[in-house]
Amino acid sequence: MEIGVYIPQVGFTWDELRARVQVCDAAGIHSVWFMDHLYPPALPGVPSFEAWTTAAALAPLTQRLRFGHLVLCNAFRHPALLAKMAITLDHASGGRLTIGLGSGSYAPEFDAFGLPFASARERGERLGESLAVLTQLFAAERSTFDGRYYALRDAPSLPRPVQQPRPPLHVGGAGERYTLPLAARYADAWNCPTYALASFERKLAALHAACLRIGRDPATLAVTQEAVLVLVERGEDLDAARALAERRFAGPGWGLAAGGYCGTPEAIVARLRACAARGVRSVIFFLHDRAEPATLQLLAREVLPQVADL
């Protein structure tokens, strides 16, 4: 099982963010993930760094760590531009990029910056076309595409990606009408977000049904989760750490009560083993203390070796 860490680039200095990412790299954590918002949702007064620039600046400062976003907002970038950005970062990182893409969901930031916020249906349709465009540009040196929202006319795409056949595509979200069918059709992995952990089994069944409707073997689509992690070395420290997580990740949208991981390394390993038995290949954690280096090292030292065989 692959264990990643979600480090929203919010409220950190650049030096603090860089240090955390480099700890992940040195410790052997599989991947680090960033958010893609123009400001932190509901926190307009808190500084944050732009998503793609953050990954592009940090990737060359690491050796093994994979980079991704949960998830990039499709409305922020034309898919042809995103493909070019992705191929560039794929080369710059030596093939350590994963692309997470979603339709965009936080309406207030669209309003704040004068961006059109389409209906859920249109956003889903645009996401579908973007995934089709990305797939073509990653697969061929020239592409033509005629969609309702995007069009390519013998568009060149050189150089080719380092990763073949392409950088992995993750689709995040849990909408059964639009998002899950798109994941079934285009994605290499589906990411179950924190807000859907309570209904994970239903969403997984819907995803498998969507695969079968188009003739895809569900086993070819990796299933991943994002979840809050409360990790402590000693059991007597758990109550205080959990209380911190409940303040920081309050509300059902964070899924702490429904699907959070809380405990010592032994307890976390047991949960991960049970999760793997349900078909989950990777878990991406929000850490209760915002990825303090000591907790990152505890995760790498006491948890990762115990789940490497899953």
Over the chain (310 residues), the average pLDDT of each successive run of 10 is 97 98 98 97 96 98 97 97 98 98 95 96 96 98 98 98 97 93 98 96 97 98 97 97 96 94 98 95 97 98 95
* Rounded CA separation 32/21 (Å): 7
Q: Which two tokens mark 147?
A: 């969609």
Q: Which two tokens mark 233?
A: 């070395």
* Rounded CA separation 158/137 (Å): 9
At 255 the pLDDT is 95
Q: Which two tokens mark 116?
A: 């059109």
Scored b (16 or more CB within 10 A) or e, 175-206 reads bbebbbbbbbbbbbbbbbbbbbbebbeebbeb
Q: What is the number of other CB atoms lying within 10 angstroms of the CB of residue 44? A: 12
At 99 the pLDDT is 98
| Phi then psi dihedrals of residue 140, to 5 deg | -135, 155
At 96 the pLDDT is 98
Cβ atoms of residues 182 and 134 within 8 Å: no
> Helix, strand, or coil here: 54?
helix
Q: Which fold has domain 2-307?
A: TIM Barrel (3.20.20)
Q: Which of 272, 259, 258, 257 is nearest to 302 (CA)?
A: 272
* Rounded CA separation 300/296 (Å): 6
For the whole prediction, is pTM greater than 0.85? Answer: yes
At 74 the pLDDT is 97
Task: Calculate the dihedral angle through the C-alpha atoms of 61, 66, 67, 70, rounding to the nearest 10 degrees.
Answer: -150
* Rounded CA separation 192/254 (Å): 12
H or E segment at 108?
A: helix 107-112
At 245 the pLDDT is 97
Which residues are bridge partners to 41 per DSSP? none
